[in-house]
Amino acid sequence: MTDLLPGVALPRPPRAADAGPLDDNFYNLVEDRFRRGVHHNPVLATWLGIPTENGRLGDPSHDAMEQEIADERTHLAAIEAIDAGQLSKTVRFERDLELHNVRQGLFDAAEVRQWERRPSAADLLGDSVFLLFARGASPLAQRLAWIGERLAATPAYLAASRSRMVGAPVTLWHEIELRSAQEMPGLFAEVRAAADGVLDAPQLRRLDASIAAANTALDGWSEFLQSGLAKADDNWALGRDRYDELLRHRAFDDLDADAILEIGWEQLRKNHEGRRAALRELDPGADEATAIDRLKSNHPATFDEALDGYRDAMRRARAHLIEHDLVTIPGDEVIEVQPTPEYLRSVMPFAAYMSPARFDADRRGLYIVTPAVDNDPDAMREHYRGSISNTSVHEAYPGHHLQLAVAANNPSLTRLAVEAPEFVEGWGMYSEQMMREQGFDNGPEFMATLYTDAIWRSCRIILDVRMHRGEMTTDEAIAFMVEHTSFETANARAEVRRYTYTPGYQLSYLLGKVLLLGLRESEKRRLGGTFSLKGFHDTLLRNGSLPISFHRRLLAGEG
* Measured distance CA(48)–CA(413) in Å, rounded: 12
* Measured distance CA(229)–CA(164) in Å, rounded: 16
Helix, coil or strand: residue 334: strand
CA atoms within a 13 Å half-sphere pointing along the CA-CB vector of 400: 23
- Give the pLDDT of residue 544: 95
* Measured distance CA(394)–CA(314) in Å, rounded: 10
For the chain, how far is it from start to end, CA to CA, in angstroms?
28
- Give the pLDDT of residue 326: 98
- Give the pLDDT of residue 350: 75
Strands 364-369 and 334-339: parallel
Chain Cα centroid distance, residue 404: 11
Widest CA span in the chain: 72
- Give the pLDDT of residue 349: 65
Ramachandran region of residue 49, left (φ > 0), alpha (ψ -120 to 50) or beta? left
- In 3D space, the residue among 520, 521, 517, 526 whose CA is nearest the CA of residue 539 turns out to be 520
Q: Specify the amino acid at residue 487.
A: F
- Give the pLDDT of residue 420: 94
CA atoms within a 13 Å half-sphere pointing along the CA-CB vector of 413: 19
- Give the pLDDT of residue 346: 65
* Measured distance CA(417)–CA(408) in Å, rounded: 11
What single string gives the DSSP state of each residue in 465-534?
A: HHHHTT---HHHHHHHHHHHH---HHHHHHHHHHHTT-TTTTTHHHHHHHHHHHHHHHHHHHHGGG--HH
- What secondary structure letter does DSSP report for 163? G
- Give the pLDDT of residue 392: 94
CA distances for 29 relative to 14, 216, 328, angstroms: 16, 42, 33
Instruction: Give the number of other CB atoms < 10 A from CB of residue 541.
Output: 22
Residue 366: its H or E element:
strand 364-369
* Measured distance CA(393)–CA(401) in Å, rounded: 10
- In 3D space, the residue among 183, 181, 184, 187 whose CA is nearest the CA of residue 225 turns out to be 181
Helix, coil or strand: residue 424: helix
CA distances for 329 relative to 37, 300, 555, angstroms: 31, 30, 21
- What secondary structure letter does DSSP report for 351? E
* Measured distance CA(135)–CA(362) in Å, rounded: 7
- What secondary structure letter does DSSP report for 387? H
Q: Could you report the average pLDDT of every consecutive run of 10 residues in the chain (559 residues)?
A: 80 95 98 96 94 95 98 98 97 98 97 96 94 90 97 98 94 94 93 94 97 98 95 94 95 92 97 95 92 91 93 97 97 89 70 86 88 80 92 95 93 95 96 97 95 95 97 95 88 91 96 97 96 97 96 90
Chain Cα centroid distance, residue 338: 17
* Measured distance CA(508)–CA(421) in Å, rounded: 6
- In 3D space, the residue among 118, 111, 115, 93 whose CA is nearest the CA of residue 172 turns out to be 118
Query: Which stretches of 41-167 are DSSP H helices?
Result: 42-48, 62-81, 89-106, 121-134, 140-152, 154-161
Chain Cα centroid distance, residue 523: 28
Strands of the sheet with 364-369, listed across from one edge: 334-339, 364-369, 351-354
- Give the pLDDT of residue 1: 47
CA distances for 335 relative to 16, 138, 263, 355, angstroms: 34, 18, 34, 9
- In 3D space, the residue among 95, 84, 98, 87 whose CA is nearest the CA of residue 34 turns out to be 98
* Measured distance CA(289)–CA(293) in Å, rounded: 6
* Measured distance CA(370)–CA(288) in Å, rounded: 27
* Measured distance CA(541)–CA(525) in Å, rounded: 21
Across-strand partners of 364?
Answer: 334
